[in-house]
Amino acid sequence: MKDAAYLGTLQTYWKRHQTFPPMAKLCEVLGLSSTSSVFALVGRLTDAGYIKRHEGRIVPQKAFFGRPVLGPVRAGLPQPATQEEPELITLDDYLIDNPTRTSVHKVRGDSMKDAGIFDGDLVVVEHNSPTSIGDIVVAVVDGEFTVKTLRQTGDGRHYLEAANPAFKPIYPTSSLELMGVVISVVRRVRR
């Protein structure tokens, strides 16, 4: 088995348990016959930046959670496959610019479907960011939490607009607090 396959086994184990077993149990998990084989593999994965040793155990590093970006794929006519060396990226690298000001929220309902935000999607929200009219925001309006497009009336009052004609605009009666701007939407297409 190549190191990539062992790495995949470790990633699957981590996904299920959120920890790694002690070094002695790694023989069983990886299907290796000796602890010296495990130590050699751990050394190679450490040198490659996927894991590190800490107090007798191994812990994942950022590269451990990376996924290969295998080049462009057309959504139109097929294109020839390329054999480029894949770039390694984590979803955090791609979706989040400022981790300390970012949260993720699960969407409920279909009021934003025409903006491509569906029930069950995750929205990535950046807090304390400059907000512009037309931004999709997460807001607390009159004490209730929602995701909508920020709009402004001709006389300067802010309101929230759905991206579904079945929903009326929301004009705050007492308060409107903008929690943050939606910067990304994540959707699983197969469950």
Nearest CA-CA partner of 18 in 64, 49, 63: 64
Kindly report which listed range (4-18, 32-46, 64-78) carries the lowest average pLDDT score: 64-78
**In the chain, pLDDT over 90 holds for what percent of residues?**
60
- Which pLDDT does position 1 carry in this prediction? 55
What's the CATH code, domain 3-65? 1.10.10.10
Would strands 136-141 and 67-69 be described as parallel, antiparallel, or unpaired?
A: unpaired
Tell me the three state secondary structure of residue 41. helix
Select the more confidently predicted residue: 86 or 42. 42
Pair 125, 102: CB distance under 8 Å: yes
Count the Cβ atoms, other than its own, within 10 Å of residue 129: 17
C-alpha span between 70 and 75 (Å, rounded): 15
What does pLDDT average to over the chain?
91
Q: Where are the beta strands (DSSP E) in the chain?
A: 51-54, 57-60, 67-69, 87-89, 102-106, 122-126, 136-141, 144-152, 158-161, 176-186
Could you give the angle at the alpha carbon of 167 between the alpha carbons of 152 and 153, nearest 5°?
10
What is the second-level CATH architecture of the domain 99-186? Ribbon (2.10)
Nearest CA-CA partner of 161 in 141, 185, 143: 141
Residue spans of the domains in the chain: they are: 3-65, 99-186
Tell me the sheet residues that pair with 182.
125
Q: What is the mean pLDDT of residues 109-120?
A: 97
C-alpha span between 18 and 21 (Å, rounded): 10
| DSSP designation for 94 | H
Decide if pLDDT at 62 tops 70: yes
C-alpha span between 85 and 101 (Å, rounded): 33
Decide if pLDDT at 191 tops 80: no
Tokens of 130: 């400059």
Kindly report which listed range (9-23, 39-53, 72-86, 109-123) carries the lowest average pLDDT score: 72-86
What residues act catalytically? 111, 148
